[in-house]
Structure 1
Amino acid sequence: MVLDTLIRALDARVVGRRDVEVCGIAYDSRAVAKGFLFAAIPGEHVDGHTFIVRAAEAGASCVLAERETEGIAATQVIVKDIRSALSKVSAAFYGEPSKRLSLVGVTGTNGKTTTTYLIESVFRAANLNPGVIGTINYRYNGKTFDAPHTTPQAPDLQRLLKEMADAGVTHAVMEASSHALEQKRAGDCAFKVGIFTNLTLDHLDYHKTMDEYFSAKAMLFELVKNNSGRTIVNIDDAWGRKLKEMYPASITVSLKDGADIYPARYSLKDGMTEAAVRTPSGDVTISSHLVGEYNLQNILAAIAAAYALGIEGARISEGISNLARVPGRLEKIEAGGARPFRAYVDYAHTSDALERALNALRPVSKGRVITVFGCGGNRDRTKRPKMGGISARLSDVTIITSDNPRDEDPIEIIKEIEAGIEGLAKKRPDEPLSGHCYAVIPDRTEAIWKAVSEVASGDTILVAGKGHEDYQIVKGRKGRFSDFEVLRSAIEGNDKAGPLRSNGH
C-alpha cells in the first residue's frame, strides 16, 4: 500500500516521499523488514524513538513518530499522538476488518474473560462463527494463539481481525483492557456492542486514581457510540450507574428488578446457577455450571449482548448452558476417598475478585474454607492489605504465599498482605492449621501442598491469583508453574485423597 493512502486520515507533517510502498507495520525494530513502516511508540521501559535509526537500517521505508530524526533515508511521518495515529494506520493497512464483523467489546475490572466465553458459546449456539480475543488466548475456527496482551497492540489487533474476517468469522468478542483503551489500541475498531462489567480497585500503579481508571474504561463506550452501537452496563456497580448517566441509552443489567435485563428468580446451589431472566423480548431460562452471584452478573451481560444483536432466547439459553468451564475461573477438582472435598483454582487477583470468589464458595462449602493466595509484584500495592483482610474475614484458614513477585522481594509483598490481617492467630508452617488462623508459606508449591494436607471431609480449598497462568515470574525469570497441576499433584500425592473429578483439564 502506498504511504500517502495509508496516512490520508492523519494530521501529520511528512518529511520525505509520500509515494513509498508500505508492505508491513512493526512497533519493534527487531521485527522490521524491507518496506515496513516502523512506529516509534513509547514502551513501558524504553522509547521507540531510540530505535528509529536501527529500524531504518533494517529496511523501514517510513517511520511514524512524534519527533523528527536526522540522518535517515526513510520517510518520516510526524504526528502529535503516535498511538492514535498507529491505530488509524493499522486499520487502514488491513482494510478496516472490524467493519466486516459484528464486534463486541467487554471492559471492566472483573468478569471480562468469563463474559467473552459466555458470548462465544451463545454465538455458537446461534450457528454463528465466533472469534475471541482475550486474556487467556486468541482463537477462531479451531485455531488458538497465545495472548501476550489481553488486548493486542493496534497492528496485531487489526491483523488478527482481518485473519478472522478472511476465515469466515462472523462475530467476534474481545476483552478491552484499560491500558489498551487509554493507549488507543482499539481506537479504530467498529464495535457494535460494548459491555461494562464493574470497576474495582486495580491498576492504580498505572492509572493513579480511580477516576482516571474509570475514564479509561469509559473510552470503550465512546467508541461504541461513534459506531452507532449498543452499550450495556451493570448498574449493580456504582461506577456502572455513573456510566449509565453518561450514556443514558445503555441497556442495563442487574440482579434486582428495575433494569432492562434482570433475573425474575434465581438459585445458586449444588454447583449450578438456575434463573429465569427477564429481557425486553421475553424471559430466558438459564442453567449454568458457573456459580456465584458475580457469575450471574456475567451471564446477564452476555444475555444483554445477545439481545442487542437480535439472537433469539432459545439460542441464548442453549449457549449459556453449553459452557461447562472457563479456564482458571473457579475451576473445580472434587476429591473422593476417606475425606471428600472440593478444590478450586481462580484468577482472583484483586480485592473485589477475591471477595466475590469467597462469597460464591462459602455457601456451598460443607466444612471450612482454606484459601491460598499471594499478590503480584510491580503492581498496585494498595490492594495487598485489602486482600489479606478479605481472606481473613471470609476464610477459616488463610495461607499467604507468592504469586508472581517479578522484581520485588516476595517476603516484603507478603508483609504488606499481612498488614491487613487483624485478630487472627498466626501459625508456623509446620503446625496444624486449626481454628480461625493464617500461615505464611512463601513457596507456592509448598503452600498448596500444606492446604491439601490440612483439608478435612467437606472442606473447600481456594487457590487464588494465577488461574489459567502456566508460569511464575521471579526476578525477571519466567518459569513453568500451574496452580491446577500442583493442586492435582498434591491431591494425588496425599494418601487420604480418593479419585479426582474436575470440570477441566
Structure 2
Amino acid sequence: MALTGEQITNYLADESLVLSAPDFEGAIQHLAYNSNDVTADTLFFIKGNFKPEYLADAKAKGVTAVIAPVDFTETLDLPTWVVDDVAAAMSILSMAFYDRPQDKLALIGITGTKGKTSSAYMAYEILREATGDKVALSSTLAVVTGTDPKFHYRAHLTTPESLDLFRWMAEAVENGMTHMVMEVSSQAYKKERVYGLRYDVGIFLNISPDHIGPNEHPTFEDYLECKMELFDHSDQIVLNADSDHFGQLIERAEMAVPKDGLWLYAQEHTDADEDMGADMSYRTVREDLQGSTFAVSAHGQQGQALELDGEYDLDMPGDFNQGNATAAMIATRLVGADPEAMRTALNEVKVPGRMQELTSAEHGTIYVDYAHNYASIAALLQFVRANERVDKLAIVVGAPGNKGVSRRPGIGQAINEGADVAYLTSDDPQYENPADINAEIAANIDADKVQIIEQLDRTKAITEAIQASGPNDVVVLAGKGLDEYQKIEGVDTPYENDWAIAQRVVNELTNEPE
C-alpha cells in the first residue's frame, strides 16, 4: 500500500479535483486526516480550518505531503495538492491506497430516516448464516471486519469517514469477508464520505423530516436530495413503496437503474391498487412484544423470481420491523442468500439497544430503544399501547445538542400523541444547555394532557421513572440505548447506559426489604 506523487495527481485529475499539483518524487506510505494518526511518510488531508502551527507539529511527526484547499508548499515547505473538495479527494485516494477493497466485496448500502440499524443487522445476520460468517458490517452501533472480537470496533459515525471506511473494508477483505452491509447516512453524501463508491444493492427504507439545522441540512429538500444519491450509486435498488414522497423517490430511482434493477416492497393492503406495483408485500400473521410472524407474497414475474413466498418468524416486534426484514430479505437474496438462511437468521436476530425489554412484577415493563425522532418515537409508543396493557406510559427522552435541531418539535409531538408522563433529560447535549433543548421539546407537549418532569441528570431521570411506575405501567427509555458515554462540551463523558441503569434499578427495587 503506497502511492507515488504521479499516481496521486492522476487519480485526482481523473475526478477533476486537482487545482495544482506539487513536484513530489517520494512515496506515500500512510494516509491520515487526524494529526494523532500521523506516522512516517504520511499524506495528510486538511478538511477544515487547520492552523499552520498544528500542521507544523504534524510535519514533525511524519507528514511529507498535504491535500488541502490552500497551498502550504512555501509556508511550511510541505508539497501540497490543492483541490476544490478535500473530502472527495480523500475518498478517491483512500480507495486507491487500499487497492479498491469494495470491488472484492458484495456491498449492500441502507438509507432511511428510521430503521437503518435494524435493517442492517437483519441483513448482516442473514448473510452471516448464508456465507458461513463471511460478512462485514458498518453500522451506527459497531463496525465488524472479521469474526475475531479484535476486529469489532465501536462506531463514532453512522457512516465512517472515507479513509476509515476503506481501511476497514481492506481489513475485511484480508480477513476473508465476501460481503459487507453498511448504513449510509444523508451526511455521508453531504460530506462526501462515500464519494465514488457504488453498491451492489441500495435499500431505501423511508423518508421524513430529520437532520435539518445549521450544522446539517438547511432544508428538507436538501436532506431528501442527499438521501436519494444512494439511487445514483447503486446497481440495484430496493425501495419501500409505502414511503412518504414515493412519487419523487420512484421517479429518481427509475432514472438511476433499469426496470429489472428496481425492486418495490410494501405492506399488504386491502385494496391491491394501494400496493403501488410492489414486487413483494408483507403482512402480519401474529405479533406480541417479544416478536412476530409475518408472511411475504410475491407479485408479478420479477417478485416471483426471488422465491421468497412464505411465513417467517422475526425475533423483533412491530410491523415496521417486518418491513425492514422484507427489505433485508430482498437485498440479501440479490447477493446470494437463500430463504432458509433468512428463516434461521430472522428468528434469532438481535439489535443491541433496540426494543430491549425488562419486566418487574412491581414496576411494570421497561423498554430501551434508540428511537430519537418523531417517526421512530411515535411508532414505538403507538406499538406499545397497541400490544401492552398500559395504565400509565412514561418516556425518558432528550435530544442531542448542536445537531438535529429540527427533531425537537417532533419529539414533543410524538410524546403528546402517545405518552402520559415525559421525563425530559440530557442526551448528548454537547455545547448546548440541555434545559434549553428540553424547552423546545416541551413547547410541543400539551401539559394538560401529559405530565412533564424535567430531570437533567439522565441516570436520576431513569431511576425516578422506574421507581414511580406500577405493575401495569410501561417506561420507555428512548435515544441512548447501550451508548456508554454522553457528549458534553466536546468530550465523550462516561455514562452507565440506559439498559445497565434500568437493570440495576430494577434489581435494587426487587431486593428492597419490605
The answer for the alignment partner of 2:248 in structure 1 is 242
Over 3 Å counting, the alpha-carbon distance change for 1:375 and 1:497 in structure 2 is farther
- Give the letter aligned to residue 140 of structure 2: T
Aligned to 1:37: 43
CA distance in 1, matches of 2:140, 2:121: 11
Deviations 1:9-39 (A, max 9, x none): 2222454334310001111233222211111
1:140-219 matched pairs, under 5 angstroms? 140-143=146-149, 144-205=152-213, 206-219=216-229
Secondary structure at the counterpart of residue 126 of structure 1: helix
Kindly state the Cα deviation for residue 74 of structure 1 after the two structures are TM-superposed.
Answer: 3.0
Q: For 2:66, what is the secondary structure of its paired residue?
A: strand
User: Match of 1:381?
Assistant: 405
1:278 aligns with 2:297: yes
Match of 1:461 in 2: 475
SS in 2 for 1:353: helix
The alpha-carbon distance between structure 1 residues 423 and 159, as it changes in their structure 2 partners (threshold 3 A), is: closer
1:455: Cα distance to partner?
1.6
Matching residue's letter, 1:452:
I
Q: 1:148 to 1:49 in 2, by over 3 A?
A: farther
Equivalent position amino acid for 2:469 in 1: V
Match for 1:373: what amino acid? V
How far apart, in 2, do the equivalents of 1:239 and 1:36 lie? 45
Kept in 2: contact 1:263–1:277 (CA 8 A): yes
**Amino acid in structure 1 at the alignment position of 2:459:** T
2:360 is the alignment partner of 1:356: no
Aligned-pair distance for 1:423? 4.9
Tell me what 1:63 maps to: 66
Check if 1:76 corresponds to 2:80: yes
After superposition, what is the alpha-carbon deviation per residue over 1:269-302, rounded to whole angstroms, capped at 9, x for unaligned? Answer: 2522211112423304211121112211211110
- 1:127 aligns with one of 124, 128, 131: 131
Change (3 A) 1:130 1:241: farther
Q: Kindly state the Cα deviation for residue 391 of structure 1 after the two structures are TM-superposed.
A: 0.9
Give the unaligned 5+ runs of structure 2.
269-274
Amino acid at match of 1:451: A
CA contact 1:56–1:73 (8 Å) conserved in 2? no
1:20 has 2:26 as partner: yes
Q: So what's the TM-score if we normalise by structure 1?
A: 0.89
Look up the SS of the partner of 1:92 in the other structure: helix
Q: Within the alignment, does 1:473 sit opposite 2:487 as a pair?
A: yes
Q: Counterpart of 1:300? A: 326
Equivalent position to 1:310, from 328, 331, 336? 336
One-letter amino acid of the structure 2 residue matched with residue 17 of structure 1: D
Partner of 1:98: 102
Matched, 1:343 2:366: yes
CA distance in 2, matches of 1:61, 1:240: 49
Query: Structure 1 pair 259/266, CA: closer, same or farther in 2 (3 Å)?
Result: farther
* Structure-2 separation of matches of 1:458 and 1:477: 39
Identify which range, 93-102 or 147-156, moves more after superposition.
147-156
The secondary structure found in structure 2 opposite 1:9 is helix
How many residues are aligned here? Answer: 478
Preserved contact between residue 396 and residue 422 of structure 2 (Cα < 8 Å): yes
Instruction: Look up the match of 1:486.
Output: 501
**Equivalent residue, structure 2, for 1:503:** none
* Partner of residue 8 from structure 2, selected from 3, 6, 9: 6
Letter in 2 for 1:391: I
Q: CA deviation at 1:71?
A: 3.2
Task: Using the TM superposition, give the Cα deviation of residue 127 of structure 1 relative to its aligned residue in structure 2, in angstroms.
Answer: 2.7
Tell me the CA shift for residue 468 of structure 1. Answer: 2.2
Say if 1:16 and 1:76, in contact at 8 Å, map to a contact too.
yes
CA distance in 2, matches of 1:334, 1:360: 17
Percent identity of paired positions between Structure 1 and Structure 2: 27
Once the 2 structures are TM-superposed, how far is the Cα of residue 209 of structure 1 from its aligned partner?
Answer: 0.5
From 252, 257, 261, give the equivalent of 2:264: 252
Query: Residues 67 and 295 from structure 1, CA distance in 2 versus in 1: closer, same or farther, beyond 3 angstroms?
Result: same
Distance 2:420 2:195 in 1: 46
Match for residue 142 of structure 2 among 129, 133, 137: 137
User: Contact 1:471 / 1:480 at 8 angstroms: preserved in 2?
Assistant: yes
Task: Tell me by how many angstroms 1:340 deviates.
Answer: 6.4
Residues 85 and 495 of structure 1, relative CA distance in 2, 3 Å threshold: closer
Name the residue aligned to 2:313: 287
Name the aligned partner's letter for residue 8 of structure 2.
L
Aligned mates of 2:315, 2:363 — CA distance in 1: 20
Distance 1:278 1:30 in 2: 53
Query: Are the structure 2 counterparts of residues 272 and 59 from structure 1 closer, same or farther at C-alpha, using a change threshold of 3 Å?
Result: closer
Aligned partners of 1:491, 1:198: CA distance in 2, in Å? 36
Q: Structure 1 residues 188 and 48, CA, compared in 2 at 3 Å: closer, same or farther?
A: farther
Per the TM alignment, residue 97 of structure 1 is displaced from its structure 2 partner at its CA by: 0.3
Q: Aligned partners of 1:7, 1:246: CA distance in 2, in Å?
A: 34
Output the CA distance in 2 between the equivalents of 1:317 and 1:17.
Answer: 58
Secondary structure of residue in 1 paired with 2:200? strand
The two structures, once aligned, show a CA RMSD in angstroms of: 2.1
- 1:157-188 per-residue CA deviation (whole Å, 9 max, x = no partner) reads 11110000011001101111111222221123
Contact 1:235 1:241 in 2 (8 A): no
Q: Does 1:262 align with 2:281?
A: yes
Aligned with 2:422 (options 377, 384, 398): 398
TM-superposed deviation, 1:385: 2.8
**Residue 272 of structure 2: aligned partner:** none
Shift of 1:438: 3.0
TM-score normalised to structure 2 length: 0.88
SS at match of 2:383: helix
Shift of residue 387, structure 1, vs aligned partner = 1.2
SS at match of 1:473: strand
* CA offset digits 1:325-349 (Å, max 9, x no partner): 21111111122x4x36221111111
The one-letter amino acid of 2:347's match is S
Q: Distance in 2 between matches of 1:393 and 1:178?
A: 28
Q: Secondary structure at the match of 2:58?
A: helix
Q: Distance between the aligned counterparts of 1:89 and 1:456, measured in 2?
A: 58
Gaps of 5+ in 1: 426-435, 499-505
Q: Which range moved further: 57-66 or 412-421?
A: 57-66
Q: In the alignment, is the contact (CA less than 8 A) between 1:16 and 1:74 conserved in 2?
A: no
Q: How has the CA–CA distance of structure 1 residues 14 and 57 changed in structure 2, closer, same or farther, with 3 Å as cutoff?
A: farther
Matches within 5 A, 1:386-465: 386-424=410-448, 437-465=451-479
- Aligned counterparts of 1:362 and 1:444: Cα–Cα separation in 2: 24
Write the letter of the residue equivalent to 1:415: A
Tell me, in whole angstroms, the C-alpha distance in 2 between the residues paired with 1:83 and 1:26.
12
- Structure 1 residue 307 displacement after superposition: 2.4
